[in-house]
Amino acid sequence: MSSTTRPSVRGLHHVTAIAGDPQENLDFYTRVLGLRLVKKSINQDAPNVYHLFFADGEGTPGTDITFFPWPKQPKAKPGVGQIVEVPLAISAGSLDWWQTRFEELGVAQHAVEERFGERTLPFDDPHGLRLSLVEISQDRAFVPWQRSPVPQEHQILGLHSIRMWQTELDATDLLLTQVMGFEYVEEESVWHRFAAAGHEDGGGSGSYVDIRIVPSGIEGNGGVGGVHHAAWRVRDEAEELAVREAIARVGLQPTPVIDRFWFQSVYFREPGGVLFELATDGPGFGRDEDMDQLGQILVLPPWLEGRREEIEARLPHLGPPVQRR
């Protein structure tokens, strides 16, 4: 069956990681990286934990990196069966500006690398999450945040890819290419790149998953500074159900559709052990807040609103971000 007739995801929707102190998390992603806090909510499966969503100016699908700040969790241990890095896209020519900014603000950055022909700056967030900035020349769906401390021409455009370690490639390759509608792009050293064929640009930034094969690698452990899951975009619930059915047919046991209020979700583990999600593009973050007011107050899904007093009492204080230049 060709990739044009089988279901296909449309690229990355969001990536969710586990952070430490919520105030440090908020300060770094808004005041250092210049992202907008588009939703301040709670982990719907553990309501005593925040769920913070950072994205572009309107929370465009594909621009979100989200966090469960869970400081009492152990530190993550990178290894096979995990997403080990989250690359973020920036405009071509912006990397030198970011190197200077990181040096001035004391951000742990590493040497610039060339990956799949893309100039890349790896760095770490305050809690150990491995990130990178990748220069791209293509246009992306992106809305600038007018109040960002980062000038518009240098703002982060969204998720570029995810990078995973696996002990072998075959089973995950089959899932991606034969079930989820990805295409194999190329190999570079020990890394293999796949692109979501359903992406609007037929691949490109925001559609990639890069897999490193570590045959004798040790299994990693999740925790603070680690990635919890990666979510892949589907247009609507009908498309989500079609992809879910294809995943169920190969025995991966996806969950039923779960209402997350701002999108609909399905979860499953790919054969190498990484937790994947399917997430719909809508209804979106403007469903319950005016777009110019996103992220300013704690927002709960309607079914938890009756527990607001209890939930707020159990959450740690989270003030406005510390001002940075």
**pLDDT for res 323:** 57
**pLDDT for res 175:** 98
Mean pLDDT along residues 157-183: 97
Tell me: the pLDDT tens digits for 215-254?
Answer: 999 999 999 999 999 999 999 999 999 999 999 999 999 9
Residue 179 banded pLDDT, cuts 50, 70, 90 = very high
- pTM, to two decimals: 0.96
**pLDDT for res 146:** 95
Share of the chain above pLDDT 90, in %: 93
Q: Give the number of other Cβ atoms within 10 Å of residue 115's Cβ.
A: 18
Indicate if the pLDDT at residue 259 is higher than 60: yes
**pLDDT for res 209:** 98
Least confident piece of the model among 136-145, 199-208, 269-278 = 199-208
Indicate if the pLDDT at residue 85 is higher than 60: yes
The architecture in CATH of the region 12-314 reads: Roll (3.10)
**pLDDT for res 5:** 62
The residue ranking higher by pLDDT, 2 or 318, is 318
Tell me: the pLDDT tens digits for 280-314?
Answer: 999 999 999 999 999 999 999 999 999 999 999 99
Q: Are 286 and 58 in contact (CB under 8 A)?
A: yes
Tell me: the pLDDT tens digits for 2-15?
Answer: 344 678 999 999 99
Indicate if the pLDDT at residue 324 is higher than 80: no
Share of the chain above pLDDT 70, in %: 97
**pLDDT for res 151:** 98
Mean pLDDT along residues 153-163: 98
Indicate if the pLDDT at residue 188 is higher than 80: yes
Least confident piece of the model among 91-105, 193-207, 265-279 = 193-207
**pLDDT for res 277:** 98
Residue 322 banded pLDDT, cuts 50, 70, 90 = low
Domain residue limits, the chain: 12-314
Indicate if the pLDDT at residue 58 is higher than 80: yes
Tell me: the pLDDT tens digits for 265-287?
Answer: 999 999 999 999 999 999 999 99
User: CA angle, 131 as apex, 126 and 132 as ends, to 5°?
Assistant: 130
Indicate if the pLDDT at residue 56 is higher than 90: yes
Indicate if the pLDDT at residue 199 is higher than 90: no
**pLDDT for res 6:** 76
